């Protein structure tokens, strides 16, 4: 066999290519599969957080803010540890972004507060002098779409095996369970309960009154989502 290959250089080259390609796949695929698994501490999004993510996408926030910290010192010094593929295990679609008109938001939940986001969305230039970001005052009156967020939860749970209602390991060794409602009405109730925690740190009385009456403004859902980015 080997003598025959030596006399036919084309087939010898093909054989070498196949052997190297197979060996490369054996080496790369297991590592890729391991890296793509959820990082410890990465949890599925709650109903309110998903509703906020929809607000984020609808208003094209990812057009100016990436969610991808690259492994360069200039980026890790500013934004924290570089992004890992397993941190995006529950993101559909990914919101990596293609430019940075504004800062990367991959870990914004580590250094910005609910109060900061509230004031920033009302008047960005007053919080960050020189900012070209527009004010998003309509978020304080528009109502978040909890129905669609719940439908998304059902979809990713059934078709992508996102572990709702199951223990997810955290970095401190404990487990966290992100519950998914069993009905639309229950989803609204759970989102409202989470919204009450968010508005406790907000100052806008109209937003507080809206949540007290059972409505969830988009700003509340958006802040819940931004607070989850850690």
Say whether both 8 and 94 belong to one domain: no
* Per-residue pLDDT, 97: 81
Give the domain CATH number at 196.
Answer: 1.10.760.10
Residue 29 belongs to a domain: yes
* Per-residue pLDDT, 14: 81
* Per-residue pLDDT, 127: 96
Residue 9's alpha-carbon distances to 16, 18, 19, 21, in angstroms, are 10, 14, 15, 18
* Per-residue pLDDT, 8: 75
Residue 21 belongs to a domain: yes
At residue 169, what are phi and psi to the nearest 5 degrees?
-65, 140
Q: Yes or no: say if 228 and 105 are a contact pair by the CB < 8 Å rule.
A: no
* Per-residue pLDDT, 133: 96
CA distance 51 to 47: 6
Say whether both 27 and 80 belong to one domain: no
Residue-wise pLDDT tens digits, 198-216: 999 999 999 999 999 999 9
Give the number of other CB atoms < 10 A from CB of residue 115: 12
* Per-residue pLDDT, 34: 52
Residue 179 belongs to a domain: yes
* Per-residue pLDDT, 197: 97
* Per-residue pLDDT, 176: 94
* Per-residue pLDDT, 28: 63
Say whether both 52 and 78 belong to one domain: yes
Give the burial string for 74-104 (b: 16+ CB within 10 Å, else e). Answer: ebeeebbeebeeebbbbeeeebebeeeebeb
Residue-wise pLDDT tens digits, 89-130: 999 999 998 778 999 999 999 999 999 999 999 999 999 999
Structure tokens at 198: 């968010």
Say whether both 202 and 174 belong to one domain: yes
* Per-residue pLDDT, 144: 98
Residue 126 belongs to a domain: yes
Say whether both 31 and 51 belong to one domain: no
Domain that holds residue 181: 47-228
* Per-residue pLDDT, 162: 94
Report the greatest alpha carbon distance in the chain: 86
Say whether both 130 and 28 belong to one domain: no
Residues of the chain with pLDDT under 70: 1-2, 5, 25-36
Beta bridge partners of 177: 167
Residue 41 belongs to a domain: no
* Per-residue pLDDT, 56: 97
When divided into structural domains, the chain yields a total of 2
* Per-residue pLDDT, 171: 86
Say whether both 25 and 101 belong to one domain: no
Say whether both 6 and 29 belong to one domain: yes
Say whether both 178 and 217 belong to one domain: yes
Q: Specify the pTM.
A: 0.85
* Per-residue pLDDT, 109: 95
What count of residues does the chain have? Answer: 230
Say whether both 88 and 174 belong to one domain: yes
């Amino acid at each position: 066999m080997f003598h025959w290959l030596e006399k036919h250089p084309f087939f010898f080259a093909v054989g070498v290519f196949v052997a190297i390609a197979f060996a490369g796949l054996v080496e790369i695929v297991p590592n890729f599969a391991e890296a793509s698994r959820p990082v410890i501490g990465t949890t599925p999004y709650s109903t309110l957080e998903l509703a906020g993510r929809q607000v984020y996408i609808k208003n094209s926030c990812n057009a100016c803010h990436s969610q991808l910290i690259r492994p360069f010192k200039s980026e890790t010094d500013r934004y924290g540890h570089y992004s890992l593929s397993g941190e995006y295990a529950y993101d559909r679609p990914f919101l990596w972004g293609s430019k940075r008109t504004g800062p990367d938001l991959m870990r914004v939940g580590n250094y910005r507060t609910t109060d900061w986001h509230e004031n920033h969305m009302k008047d960005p230039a007053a919080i960050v002098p020189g900012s070209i970001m527009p004010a998003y005052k309509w978020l304080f009156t528009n109502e978040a779409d909890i129905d669609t967020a719940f439908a998304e939860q059902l979809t990713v749970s059934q078709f992508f095996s996102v572990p709702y209602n199951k223990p997810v390991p955290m970095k401190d060794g404990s487990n966290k369970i992100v519950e998914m409602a069993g009905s639309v009405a229950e989803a609204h109730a759970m989102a409202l309960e989470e919204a009450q925690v968010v508005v406790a740190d907000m100052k806008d009385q109209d937003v507080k009154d809206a949540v007290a009456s059972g409505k969830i403004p988009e700003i509340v859902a958006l802040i819940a989502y931004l607070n989850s980015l850690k």
